[in-house]
């Protein structure tokens, strides 16, 4: 039973050390400089940041008018 506890403890130390090393690498290589830039990169130039435009996530109780306006907002400009 003590061998199991020892293996468990060594596993925790290995994973914890790996997490600390990964964090140190991310900080030293500049991965943490501008965290919000990656999150905002998914938005297009014409898409408002912070406004839901996806019709899949709308609840079923939403009226047809608001669903239609959401589709119109998401549609490509030439379509």
Note the pTM of the prediction, 2 decimals: 0.46
What is the domain count for the chain? 2
In a domain, 57, yes or no: yes
28 and 51 co-located in one domain: no
3-class DSSP state of 3: helix
* Structural domain includes residue 40: no
26 CB contacts (<8 Å, ≥6 apart)? 32
pLDDT interval class at 63 (50, 70, 90):
very low
d(CA 72, CA 63): 15
What's the pLDDT tens digit per position in 64-77? 555 455 556 566 66
Residue 56 reports pLDDT greater than 80: no
Tens digit of each residue's pLDDT (9 = 90 or more) over 11-53: 999 999 999 999 999 999 988 887 777 676 676 667 776 676 6
Examine residue 38 and state whether it is found in any structural domain, yes or no: no
**41 lies in some domain:** no
Structural domain including 56 reads: 47-79
């Amino acid at each position: 039973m003590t061998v199991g506890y020892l293996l468990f403890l060594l596993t925790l130390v290995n994973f914890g050390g790996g997490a600390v090393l990964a964090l140190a690498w991310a900080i030293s290589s500049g991965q943490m400089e501008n965290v919000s830039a990656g999150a905002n990169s998914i938005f297009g130039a014409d898409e408002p940041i912070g406004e839901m435009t996806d019709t899949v996530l709308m609840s079923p109780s939403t009226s047809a008018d608001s669903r239609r306006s959401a589709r119109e907002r998401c549609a490509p400009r030439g379509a």
